[in-house]
Amino acid sequence: MPLRKVLIANRGEIAVRIIRTLRTLGLPSVVVYHAADAGSLAVREADEAIELSAPTGVAAYLDVAAILAAARRTGADAIHPGYGFLAENADFAAAVEAQGLRFIGPPPEVIRLMGDKIRARERVAHAGFPITPSATEEGNPDAFTERVRAIGFPVLVKAAAGGGGRGMRIVRSAEALAAELETARREAERSFKDGRVYVERYVERPRHIEVQVLSDRHGNHLHLGERECSVQRRFQKLIEETPSAALDLDTRRRLCDVAVGIARTVGYQNAGTVEFIFAPSGEFYFLEMNTRLQVEHPVTEMVTGLDLVAEQIAVANGEPLRLRQDDIRAQGHAIECRICAEDADHGHTPTNGEVALLRPPAGPGVRFDSGLCVGQPITTSFDSMLAKLVVHGSDRPQAILRMRQALRDLVLLGVEHNAAYLERVLAHPGFGRGELHTHFLEEHKDALGARPASEQDLVGLLAAAALVARRASLETPEPYASIGPWRN
């Protein structure tokens, strides 16, 4: 039976983005929300909205029982998890299916397998795909430290159930290993309720490149090209683009073929992303698989012309993929910047406020995905990402120029955000040359810092403020006060 109504178990821009695709497909949408999001754009745009009672916003969006009850109450027969929250929770996917509903994502057993980084690496390696040399505590915990030493430093400690950079530590010496292992275990236990960690060889100056895959229930698998996600802070992505400037045609083909092979090996279904570490030598290694829609999926949509949410719905409906690999034709270059509520010049610390004015940029090849509306409170209760600014150009230089202009054109007042910082990143000569790696922002920290305003700029800003602020406490002497606003 084709889907009749879809409940979105998420919030913010991804909820709005899913609602709009459902609307084009003629499918009613339901959103669940916490009281903190009562006035949000997602609640306004959905056909139905169900409030979830919980002590915190995050707790509401993690309340499996309440979400399933909302689906029953509204007659929804499918649930789209978006990304984050419950999107990669195998128990949630299984609970959805146990209620006779469809989970718009891969089967629970695939989520569980690929969510366990240790088991996923073992499965991928067993199938003959490349992974970095690694060591786990399983089998012989007493010899774990010796196995790590045998890999050679530096190494990267990672949480087995990790994500978002939590539970990750770079260790450059044997002396620091024990302390960093313990720190990573505590963070993993706190974040994922799973303190298991593993260690892999750390590749210096690595690039982070991922491949979008799409699979149906009939054993068909294809890729939609790669995305470069190397510009990160604290292991979290800020800028993504496609295609990657690092890949020649042969390397791109091999990388994408490996990604499809991994999807086939694990019996994948729906949209997913296979992530790789790409070394300066040109070698690449499997990193992990994200069993959901990625934040950065719009860049793939911009170059392929596909709607990935619509493709997800088709797969959930049991339809075979309507495209073959040869049908995929990527055109031009796309870049995405994550607009975050943060003070980029002081450690990317989260900020809060209230949206006082919002004027998204526009123009050829410009897309603005957001869940924002004027008056919306911005707090530190949720992830700091406010919106995604995406541009498309005929080639990379044009895409960079369009993104820089779009970042300058964005008007978002009431909360401090990182748009100006992102524009400086794109203006950096190293970014223009495509000389990227996951520590690019740290390496160029000084060059990317905010430039103090000149005295001339400050005078101009004060003059402009005085002219537009009619209600400011400025006393104008007669006869000028009677003349009214001065005009030239």
Measured between alpha carbons, how far is 257 from 268 in angstroms, rounded to an integer?
15
Q: Can 292 be counted among the known catalytic residues?
A: yes
Out of 233, 292, 338, 396, the active site residue is 292
Q: What is the pTM of this model?
A: 0.89
CATH of span 207-443: 3.30.470.20
Measured between alpha carbons, how far is 381 from 129 in angstroms, rounded to an integer?
39
Domain 6-104 grouped into CATH 3.40.50.20: yes
CA distances from 69 to 50, 73, 142, 388, 488 (A): 10, 6, 47, 31, 64
Same fold across 6-104 and 207-443: no
CA distances from 65 to 60, 62, 182 (A): 10, 9, 34
Residue 193: per-residue pLDDT: 86
Residue 466: per-residue pLDDT: 77
Domain 133-201 grouped into CATH 3.30.930.10: no
Helix (H) or strand (E) holding 335: strand 333-340
Q: What is the mean pLDDT of each run of 10 residues along the chain (488 residues)?
A: 96 98 98 96 98 96 98 98 97 98 98 95 97 83 83 91 80 92 90 89 95 98 98 95 98 98 98 97 96 98 98 98 96 98 95 97 97 95 96 98 98 98 98 97 95 83 75 63 65
Residue 128: per-residue pLDDT: 97
Task: Please report, for the chain, the start and end positions of each structural domain, with discontinuous segments joined by +.
Answer: 6-104, 133-201, 207-443
